[in-house]
Chains A and B, each alone.
Chain A
Amino acid sequence: MAIKAESQQEHLLPTVFRDGRILKGIAQLLFVVIVVIVLNDLQTRINTALESTNQSPNFEFLQNRAGFSLADSGSYSSNDRYIDAFQVGFINTLRVVLLGLLSTTVIGIMAGIFLLSPNFLLRTISRAYVEVLRNTPVLLQIIAWYFIVMLSLPQQQESIAFPREGVRSLPLLQYGLSLVVILVIWQYGGTLRRPAWRNGLRQVGIAVVVIVNLLGIVLVGSGTPIEFYPGIYISIKGVAIFELIPSSMFGVWMVFVVIGAIVSMALSRYFAFITESTGQPIPRTRYALVTFVGFTLLGWVIMGMRPTPSVIPVYDEDRDEFIDMEYEEAFESGLLTIEQELEYTRQPLLFRPPTLDRRGRNIETGIEFSPNYLAVFLGLVIYTSAFIAEIVRAGIQAVPKGQLEASRALGLSQADMLRLIILPQALRVIIPPLGNQFLNLSKNSSLAIAVAYTDIYQVTFTIINQSGQSVTGIVMVMLSYLFISLCISLLMNVINQRYQLVTR
């Protein structure tokens, strides 16, 4: 009774305004009204300001000629439109972000596992790595990569090339085949029941392969000069690596690859079924891998046996006419056009080393990474990986000790414990903050402007300066980053859902 009397003591407000639901509704309504008023005012001000300088926001200007050239821009030239320049920027940002996410994840996970290593040296080094890198600004790191590392690389003429011309070796294919033979003997030899036979077969088999290879080296002398040089060029102009171009044989070879993939997947399924129904453990992933690599190389070897024309017409510059040359001679002469090489080669993929242009200044063929790109890429990757390392470490440590004890008490092997108990539970903790780091990396890529890498922000900045279309430009940059971020979020949400725990 006393309580009731008290609650009715003061009625300054009518009952309607004491209803919590109505009060909340009013608050929300007020908020919306304020936001609309502010936005409306902002828009009016922008419009009047821009109209006075005759620059009202529009998208038509994107079709105008850009008139400026860009580094890292592929086939773009200053005669292209603004929209083309914008596209160059967007693709350049994607180049940093996609490759960056992949690399930073790999490095971060490794560093994170090393942080928990029982090996003192490994643990201390990775701890130092993490502490130094995550406690200094990323902008500083990008600039350091550019000015300290990239600009101290040798000039074009003295560029580091690997492997160098004239290095001798047995054909690479032979090494690849030997490796596969060893793997096959090791893997399929493991199915023998008796340990003595199993070990015997493995040891004898591997010894035979090694002896055959050694004999090969003796017979060929010191080997033939390798054709694959240089694979990589490093200089002050950046890094250029070889290209592999699909030749006329590529399609047929892909048939082998696809069949190999299908067979190895079927094999893996079949072994999984055997394990389920008999309990017999089979390392099916390794079997599948060996089978796939085997098919791929088999295809390569069979392609090498294709019949080739004995003579090829080669264009002779001096005589300005086509002359017939022997097959091998034609390939060694270096006079074949790239189209001819692709047509007549026995290899499904044509190796094309990075080459310099005639003046020895610029990279003509090969996949090129400019120093600006590398500085941004390495800066972001290394910086973010330090955070990912800590996330991975925390995730693994978040798995309760009791889980390890229960697995041990049940007799699970170390590998099974890691794969079946620790990892699924650690991922649950790791994935959400990992997604945040992915978003950080993609947005931090806008720091590219510090080392003049032509990413989307840098390009748009130039477009705005020239055209005065600041509102359109900023909206387009915002939408681009939003698009990238939403894609990452979507991906992370899908992965996250797989690892959520079911509770009450």
Chain B
Amino acid sequence: MQDSSTQVMAGDEPVIICREMNKWFGDFHVLRNISLEVMPQEVLVIIGPSGSGKSTLIRCINRLEEHQDGTIVVNGIELSHDVQNIAEIRRETGMVFQQFNLFPHLTVMDNITLAPMKVRHWARDRAEQRAMELLERVEIPEQAFKYPGQLSGGQQQRVAIARALAMEPKIMLFDEPTSALDPEMIKEVLDVMKELARTGMTMLVVTHEMGFAREVADRVIFMDMGRIVEEGPPENFFSPDIVHHPRTQEFLDQIL
């Protein structure tokens, strides 16, 4: 595994540290000895074939999945069975899902304001003001009082991004955010994510969008069979001149 912290980052301390992390689903060894550091403001893209453990990896970071071995430290807090630590980490990490997972019984506005009001104890005025700013940022302020079922997939995913951002997280986790979208909607979601990356958000993105990885990522990680096979800056990763690990080469040949 090569060291990638040669790049100049805004902070000096890594915001996410995984050391020798292992996870099993029953007998199936999903994540094997994952060691990873993410610096503040870094955009990390994780690619790999399905079943390689990339979604599981980012779901371990906010404890949607429990790792069984090794350590994960997020924002200086170690993930353990301590429920207060888990709650604190979840407050600082936003997550966007493949299936959007918006709350269908709440309006777009309520979807966005719910967590800031209930978790951060914001006043309604403040939460709603913030929600409108975010909706303008993802370019759908006119949809604020509709229900998720009345929106297109791309719009729903943009609301989901706004909902995660409303908690003002330090880290954003994207779990295949465009995989459930029609081709023309993919672009509108990716544009929002690019804009987010430009503002300096720390992002971990699991995706199959190689164009996005090439353009936005600071670092690309290739995973297979629960291992990090290869990592490096996108210029190197997608350059035909570099000699890749044979498994990486095989994957890249198939999708590029």
Contact = CB atoms under 8 A, between A and B. Distances in A.
Contacts of B194: none
A425 interface: yes
Contacts of A400: 99, 101
Interface string B181-201: 000000000000000000000
Interface in A261-303: 276-281
Contacts of B93: 409
A276 B123 contact: yes
A408 B90 contact: yes
Interface size class of B (residues with CB under 8 A): 35 or more
Interface string B159-178: 00001100100000100000
Contacts of B238: none
A280 B90 CA distance: 20
Nearest to A410: B115
Nearest to A276: B124
A408 B89 CA distance: 11
Most buried by B among A276, A411, A413: A411
Interface string A484-504: 000000000000000101111
Interface string B90-118: 11011101010111110000000011011
Contacts of B102: 406
Most buried by A among B105, B120, B173: B105
Contacts of B241: none
B202 to A, nearest CB: 16
A504 to B, nearest CB: 5
Interface in A393-414: 400, 402-403, 405-406, 408-413
Contacts of B97: 402, 405-406, 409
Nearest to A280: B121
A410 B119 contact: yes
A405 B101 contact: yes
Contacts of B122: 279
B64 to A, nearest CB: 5
Contacts of A424: 105
Contact of A412 (B118, B146, B149): B118
A125 to B, nearest CB: 28
A502 B150 contact: yes
Name the prevailing secondary structure of the A interface residues. Answer: helix
A410 B117 contact: no
A410 B167 contact: yes
A277 B124 contact: yes
B137 interface: no
Nearest to A503: B149
Interface string A356-395: 0000000000000000000000000000000000000000
Contact of B121 (A279, A402, A405): A279
B120 A409 contact: no
A204 to B, nearest CB: 27
B74 to A, nearest CB: 13
Contact of B118 (A276, A278, A409, A416): A416
A421 interface: yes
B149 A277 contact: no
Interface size class of A (residues with CB under 8 A): 20 to 34
Contacts of A278: 123
B140 interface: no
Given A279-B117, A502-B150, A409 B126 contact: no
A502 B149 contact: yes
Contact of A279 (B87, B99, B123): B123
Contacts of B207: none
A395 to B, nearest CB: 13
Given A402-B97, A405-B64, A420-B118, A501 B163 contact: no
A428 interface: yes
A408 B64 contact: yes
A411 B90 contact: yes
A501 B103 contact: no
B82 interface: no
Contacts of A403: 101, 103
Most buried by B among A408, A424, A499: A408
A403 B100 CA distance: 9
Nearest to A405: B64
Contacts of A279: 117, 120-124, 126-127
B229 to A, nearest CB: 27
Contacts of A501: 104-105, 147, 149
Nearest to B160: A406
A406 B117 CA distance: 16
B169 to A, nearest CB: 9
Interface in B117-165: 117-127, 146-147, 149-150, 163-164
Contacts of B94: 409-410
A413 B87 CA distance: 8
Contacts of A504: 149-150
B62 interface: yes
12 contacts: A276-B123, A279-B127, A280-B121, A402-B97, A409-B62, A409-B64, A410-B114, A412-B115, A413-B119, A501-B105, A502-B147, A504-B150
Give the 3 A-B CB pairs with smallest separation, nearest first. A503-B149, A406-B101, A410-B115
Interface of B: 62-64, 87, 90-91, 93-95, 97, 99, 101-105, 114-115, 117-127, 146-147, 149-150, 163-164, 167, 173
Given A400-B101, A402-B101, 11 more contacts: A276-B123, A278-B123, A279-B126, A400-B99, A409-B93, A411-B87, A411-B119, A412-B119, A421-B103, A501-B104, A503-B150
